[in-house]
């Protein structure tokens, strides 16, 4: 059952829970090897979005680039690592879809996105870490009017809990990192502003995520390092429940978010400082 509370509330509840349960464990360990990291990154994300009807027929396809900054901070302590990360991306995707009556439409969608995550991991061997991650995703999507069809804005939000592992190995020049994560939703919703209608809140269907990561780190000085990272992230959203659409408070129809697939391939270049 979906919670009626906003997804960001669930995000912070779980985030604080992870922090609260992790902090005593970290504090109990002799932190003779404690290190802190700050990192600034530039992200260039290739984003692909598809929507399907109940038979699997494609209704909408979008593709484009989203770019923006990413800030992260981390604490390592005798084999433990806690990391917080915030990413803001903006850009456009080409929209290839159709109206409710089945007429093909070519347009564009303006995107503004904020991703936040907290990750806790522990070393199981010298080179291998396993961990938990809670992440919150918000996307503002504004579909432009085109071909006589009126555009409209939407906002998507979901919170995911993921488990994963990361393998790191020093090589001849720098350090190579491979990672894999799988996640499922804690909460999700969207708000819809159809032309001439009241704002509508809809529940999304079940969400599952798979993420693969390849990273490279090159030390510049004992404190500064350069990083290059590429990820493949696929999010599958099943068809959401029908919600009532109103006009001036009176029901005029129903709507739901179709089955949706989001594939992101973010390439990140960053600089980190260790202290």
Pairwise pLDDT comparison (70 vs 9), residue with the higher score? 70
Q: Region 151-157: what's the mean pLDDT?
A: 96
CA-nearest of 79, 85, 188, 94 to 131 is 79
Instruction: State the average pLDDT for the chain.
Output: 90
Q: What is the pLDDT of residues 113-128, one digit of tens each?
A: 999 999 999 999 999 9
Q: Region 245-260: what's the mean pLDDT?
A: 96
pLDDT at 205: 97
The secondary structure element, H or E, covering residue 4 is none
Is it the case that residue 224 has pLDDT exceeding 70? Answer: yes
Specify the DSSP class assigned to residue 10. Answer: H
The answer to whether 83 and 96 have CB atoms below 8 angstroms apart is no
> In angstroms, how far is the first alpha carbon of the chain from the final one?
44
Which residues are within 8 A (CB) of 126 and not within 5 positions of it... i.e. 6 or more apart?
none
The beta strands (E) that lie in the chain are given as: 35-52, 58-77, 80-98, 104-123, 128-143, 152-171, 174-192, 200-202, 207-219, 224-237, 243-247, 250-255, 259-274
Domain made up of 7-274: CATH architecture: Beta Barrel (2.40)
Q: Region 254-266: what's the mean pLDDT?
A: 98
Q: What is the pLDDT of residues 59-113, one digit of tens each?
A: 999 999 999 999 999 999 988 999 999 999 999 999 999 877 778 899 999 999 9
Which tokens is 190 given? 């969207």
**What is each CA distance from 168 to 92, 102, 176, in whole angstroms?**
34, 50, 6
Q: Region 236-245: what's the mean pLDDT?
A: 97
pLDDT at 52: 97
Which residues are within 8 A (CB) of 38 and not within 5 positions of it... i.e. 6 or more apart?
72, 73, 272, 273, 275
Would you place residue 32 in the very low, low, confident or very high pLDDT band (cuts 50, 70, 90)?
low
pLDDT at 64: 98
The answer to whether 244 and 23 have CB atoms below 8 angstroms apart is no
CA distance 137 to 10: 12
Would you place residue 138 in the very low, low, confident or very high pLDDT band (cuts 50, 70, 90)?
very high
CA distance 74 to 119: 9
pLDDT at 275: 92
Would you place residue 2 in the very low, low, confident or very high pLDDT band (cuts 50, 70, 90)?
very low
Is it the case that residue 3 has pLDDT exceeding 60? Answer: no
CA distance 89 to 67: 5
Which tokens is 86 given? 């915030």
Is it the case that residue 19 has pLDDT exceeding 60? Answer: no
Is it the case that residue 8 has pLDDT exceeding 80? Answer: no
pLDDT at 170: 94
The answer to whether 215 and 209 have CB atoms below 8 angstroms apart is no
């Amino acid at each position: 059952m979906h919670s009626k509370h906003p997804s960001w509330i669930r995000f912070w509840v779980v985030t604080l829970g992870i922090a609260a349960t992790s902090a005593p464990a970290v504090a109990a360990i002799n932190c003779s090897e404690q290190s802190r990291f700050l990192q600034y990154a530039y992200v260039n994300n290739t984003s692909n979005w598809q929507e399907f009807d109940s038979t699997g027929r494609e209704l909408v396809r979008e593709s484009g680039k989203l770019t923006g900054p990413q800030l992260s901070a981390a604490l390592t302590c005798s084999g433990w690592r806690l990391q917080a990360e915030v990413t803001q991306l903006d850009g456009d995707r080409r929209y290839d879809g159709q109206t409710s009556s089945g007429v093909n439409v070519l347009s564009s969608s303006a995107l503004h996105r904020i991703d936040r995550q907290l990750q806790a991991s522990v070393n199981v061997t010298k080179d291998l870490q396993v961990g938990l991650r809670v992440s919150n995703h918000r996307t503002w999507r504004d579909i432009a009017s085109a071909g006589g069809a009126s555009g409209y804005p939407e906002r998507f939000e979901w919170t995911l809990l993921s488990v994963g592992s990361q393998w790191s190995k020093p090589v001849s020049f720098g350090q190579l990192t491979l990672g894999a994560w799988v996640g499922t939703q804690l909460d999700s919703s969207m708000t819809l502003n159809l032309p001439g209608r009241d704002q509508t809140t809809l529940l999304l269907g079940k969400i599952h995520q798979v993420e693969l990561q390849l990273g490279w780190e090159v030390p510049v000085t004992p404190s500064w390092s350069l990083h290059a990272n590429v990820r493949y992230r696929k999010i599958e959203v099943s068809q959401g429940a029908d919600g009532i659409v109103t006009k001036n408070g009176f029901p005029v129809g129903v709507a739901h978010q179709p089955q949706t697939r989001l594939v992101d391939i973010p390439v990140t270049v960053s600089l980190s400082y260790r202290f």
